[in-house]
Chain A
Amino acid sequence: MEKTHSINYGTYVLVWLGLVALTTLTVAIAGLNLYSLTIIVAMAIATTKSLLVANYFMHVKSDSRVFKVFIVVCIVIFLTMIILTFFDLIFRYPAK
């Protein structure tokens, strides 16, 4: 077997505790009035949580490089789609 993931229950439980803590944090922060910052903070926390799930639960961290390159390419394509859409939106609906 070339791939032996960290078969350690403790690590997974720690990651889960981190995920629950981040969920509590994002709910608490949403209660504050940060206006336009709210969405940025919420997305930053969601991205952190996703990275935890992908790296530890989906084992990306211990996967070979080809999987990491795969995933990065896919996310770059997705982000390009979002950014191009926003160029269009900002052009059509300029901020008043």
Chain B
Amino acid sequence: MDNESVMENKHTEHIHRDDVGSKMGMWLFLFTELILFGGMFILYAGYRFMYADSFRVAAMRLDTVVGTVNTILLLTSSLTAVLSLAAIQKKQKLFSMYLLVFTIVCGGAFLINKYFEWSTKIHHGFYPRGPEMADLPDGEVVFYGLYYVMTGLHALHVIVGMVFLTFMLVFVYKEKITFDNSQKLENAGLYWHLVDIIWIFLFPLFYLIH
């Protein structure tokens, strides 16, 4: 909307807003995300079907504890994200902001865990074309390839989600998001929850094969 029409709208006290349309647009975007990750899940399923035993051996080298801690972190951050929406709808601005900060911190903690997890693996030579990989059977090489690509793309989404939520935090502070105008925050929450759902599937597929 250009400045002139904004001013005109203010003048007539009728600012156009379409919350349902906004939410629908967000969901359409989430479907493209689902298909993006979906393609990789199909790749994973196909290779796991071909190399069932190698996948089991390779997955044993991943740290289940780190994976579980990260799962709990993301689930908790999803809770606080939805609570921040509920809080703003109850006109508890400050509480909503605290919850958003906590959500972003949880995302950060997730990434720090991921960083240590990856660097340990890389230090031990388990990375594409790394020294340990040369002697591994094809199936295990494929497993680590998928592991880095899928958890890497997911981590990228966590970073984007954190940026998205930081903007929402500023909007809440500046009262651009209020108790009766909270669709932006809800959309950001939808994105964050989708990233959580993707991790809900990644976790058992990479960390819990026995």
B-binding residues in A (CB < 8 A):
1, 3-5, 7-9, 12-13, 15-16, 19-20, 23, 26-27, 30-31, 33, 38-39, 42-43, 45-46, 49-50, 53-54, 56-59, 64, 66-67, 70-71, 74-75, 77-78, 81-82, 85-86, 89, 93
Task: Say if the beta carbon of B148 comes within 8 Å of chain A.
Answer: no
Q: Are B90 and A31 in contact (CB under 8 A)?
A: no
Cβ–Cβ < 8 Å partners of A8 in chain B? 86
Extra pairs beyond A56-B82, A82-B45, A93-B50 (9, CB < 8 Å): A9-B86, A16-B79, A33-B210, A49-B200, A57-B193, A58-B193, A67-B27, A77-B35, A86-B45
Kindly state the separation between the CA atoms of A94 and B151 in the bound complex, as whole angstroms. 30
Task: Determine which of A20, A26, A64, A71 lies in contact with B75 in the assembled complex, contact meaning CB atoms within 8 Å.
Answer: A20
Question: Could you say which of B64, B75, B200, B209 contacts A46, with CB atoms under 8 Å apart?
Answer: B200
Number of interface residues of B (CB under 8 A): 47
Query: What is the bound-complex CA distance between A42 and B71, given in angstroms?
Result: 14
Q: Which 3 A-B pairs have the closest CB atoms?
A: A30-B208, A42-B204, A16-B79
Report the separation of the CA atoms of residues A19 and B83 in the bound assembly, to the nearest whole angstrom. Answer: 15
Residues of the B chain whose Cβ atoms lie less than 8 Å from the Cβ of A42 = 204-205, 208
13 pairs, CB–CB < 8 Å, chain A vs chain B: A12-B79, A16-B78, A23-B203, A26-B204, A38-B208, A43-B204, A45-B204, A46-B203, A57-B78, A57-B81, A57-B189, A82-B45, A86-B45
Asked whether, in the complex, the Cβ of B204 is within 8 Å of the Cβ of A57, the reply is: no
